[in-house]
Amino acid sequence: MTKNIDPVLKEIAAIFNNAGKEIYLVGGAVRDMLMGKKIHDWDLATDASPEEVTAVMRSNKGKVIPTGIKHGTVTVLYKNKSCEVTTFRTESDYSDGRRPDKVSYAATIEEDLSRRDFTMNAIALSLPSCKVVDPFNGAKDIKSELIRCVGEAAQRFNEDGLRPLRAVRFASQLGFIIEQETLDAIPGALSVCEKVSWERVRDEIDKILASSLPSQGFNLMRETGLLKLFIPELERCFGVEQKGFHEFDVFGHSLLACDYAAANNFSRELRLAALFHDIGKPDVRALDKTSGVYTFYRHEEVSADMNRTIMERLKYPNAVIDKVCHLVKEHMFLYTDEWSNAAVRRFIARIGEDNLDDIYRLRRADIYGFSGRNPDYRSIEKLVDRVNKILKEGSAFTIKNLAIGGNDLMAAGIPGGKILGVILKELLETVLDDPAQNTPEKLLEIAGRIFKERG
């Protein structure tokens, strides 16, 4: 294992040791190392106080930034490497289940490890000797692929309500099983989980989405009651049958679509869109009496609205929300060879050129979710061909790309204001119908006519 340690990290360790201080690699880095994975961030723990860390590194040409000084953490930059160094901590007094009331420093690495969440995350590697400190048998649990709380699960969950969601997230990320006592303690901790900030919840949900099989995390969230707490709209999809359409209920179908997005390395936006694309279905489901099948009219619009509510609650950035909602709202196109060229151009204009690849991807995920077997993507492939042919023609698909703009209209005597927008919109419709109309002369003539009728 020693050979995996970055030489710069060994140099940093030597600096601490020369100053008479202990330093350990801790957290995810040790877990990943024991699992033979690549290490992405270096988290270090030391008995030196943040002031001592700062002094010792600065006198050895290191840079120190007080990134999390409240929690005893500083970021050390040394020879182009960056690592987080945290003074041994104990977290004793929790009164609100959100975060410790105060952070006090601990004397030993063992004490520091005892405040960590899971045994697999409570292993330290002494540097530079690489001696393993593993008081809770985390290495054994990693081998057995088990997520187990350090100490008594119910108490540990009571201290910090994010931990149950972290357990589920790690299960999804690592493909591990949550040990029984730890799993059984989750439902009893839900009232504490409720107090956790939405940003922290969102970060864990993002990590579930980023895992290779997100369904594992969302199924566990549902089974433990966490889904009802954080995304009740998705929980409601469970058991909503879609006979006549799909063999899966809306929940199962959404998870399959999301797994497809993950398996194909799709973006965070697409994974969210796949998960939430049908979330409005329970609200619009109706039984067609004559055929005996369910219908879900306009579910894409209802789903897009609900998406916004969910994603705003989870504090996603507005740009992410807008993109996901747009994809969800437009996911229901059903291409046939009967589409006219004008219909294809309208499709491009509605989706937006930049979103075309993503809407095809979402549709593929949706189709995959019908059965999870032998999906038939031929209609998408045909649409892609048609769209690409039309794009080559170089026509205008947005108002910005019309042969004339608002200024040209005003120069021709049309006043500014609302009418200008109405005219430009209609000009675009005309050009989508017939690209040959996209010349300044023709558009000005049409604009004059519209103005006469409506101005």
Q: Which stretch binds ligand ATP (CB under 6 A): 62-70, 157-165, 315-323, 328-336?
A: 157-165
Q: Report the amino acid identity of residue 307.
A: N
Long-range contacts of 6-9 (CB under 8 A, 24+ apart): 6/42, 6/81, 8/78, 8/79, 8/80, 8/81, 9/42, 9/81, 9/83, 9/127
Per the CB < 8 A criterion, the answer to whether 133 and 24 are in contact is yes
By the rule CB under 6 A, 27 interacts with ligand ATP = yes
Whose Cβ is closer to Mg ion: residue 72's or residue 280's?
Answer: 72
DSSP E strands, 307-407:
none
Q: Which stretch binds ligand ATP (CB under 6 A): 103-111, 156-164, 385-393, 446-454?
A: 156-164
> Cα 200–201–207 angle (5° rounding)?
95
By the rule CB under 5 A, 28 interacts with Mg ion = yes
For Mg ion, the binding residues in 166-225 under the rule CB under 5 A are none
Shortest Cβ 9–ligand ATP spacing (Å): 16
The token duo for 103 is 């952070």
Shortest Cβ 108–Mg ion spacing (Å): 22
> Cα 379–381–386 angle (5° rounding)?
95
Per the CB < 8 A criterion, the answer to whether 341 and 435 are in contact is no
Per rule CB under 6 A, count of chain residues that contact ligand ATP: 11
Whose Cβ is closer to ligand ATP: residue 166's or residue 345's?
Answer: 166
Q: Which does 162 bind (CB under 5 to 8 A by kind): ligand ATP, Mg ion, none?
A: ligand ATP
Residue 237, CA distances (Å) to 1, 169, 273, 367 in order: 46, 21, 15, 18
By the rule CB under 5 A, 375 interacts with Mg ion = no
Per the CB < 8 A criterion, the answer to whether 202 and 316 are in contact is yes
Q: Which does 116 bind (CB under 5 to 8 A by kind): Mg ion, ligand ATP, none?
A: ligand ATP
Question: Which DSSP symbol is given to 228?
Answer: H
Q: 89: part of which helix (H) or strand (E)?
A: strand 89-90
Whose Cβ is closer to ligand ATP: residue 121's or residue 437's?
Answer: 121
Binding mask 81-120 for ligand ATP (x = CB under 6 A): -----------------------------------xx---
Per the CB < 8 A criterion, the answer to whether 372 and 365 are in contact is no
By the rule CB under 5 A, 68 interacts with Mg ion = no
Question: Which residue is closest to ligand ATP by CB?
Answer: 28
By the rule CB under 6 A, 217 interacts with ligand ATP = no
Question: In the set 141, 160, 233, 278, which binds ligand ATP (CB under 6 A)?
Answer: 160
How does strand 63-68 pair with strand 73-78? antiparallel
Shortest Cβ 83–Mg ion spacing (Å): 11
Residue 345, CA distances (Å) to 339, 351, 359, 360 in order: 10, 10, 15, 16
Tokens 């000009």 locate to 427
Q: Which does 117 bind (CB under 5 to 8 A by kind): ligand ATP, Mg ion, none?
A: ligand ATP
Q: Which stretch binds ligand ATP (CB under 6 A): 59-67, 73-81, 155-163, 267-275?
A: 155-163
Binding site for ligand ATP (CB under 6 A): 27-28, 43, 116-117, 121-122, 160, 162-163, 166
Residues that bind Mg ion (CB under 5 A): 28
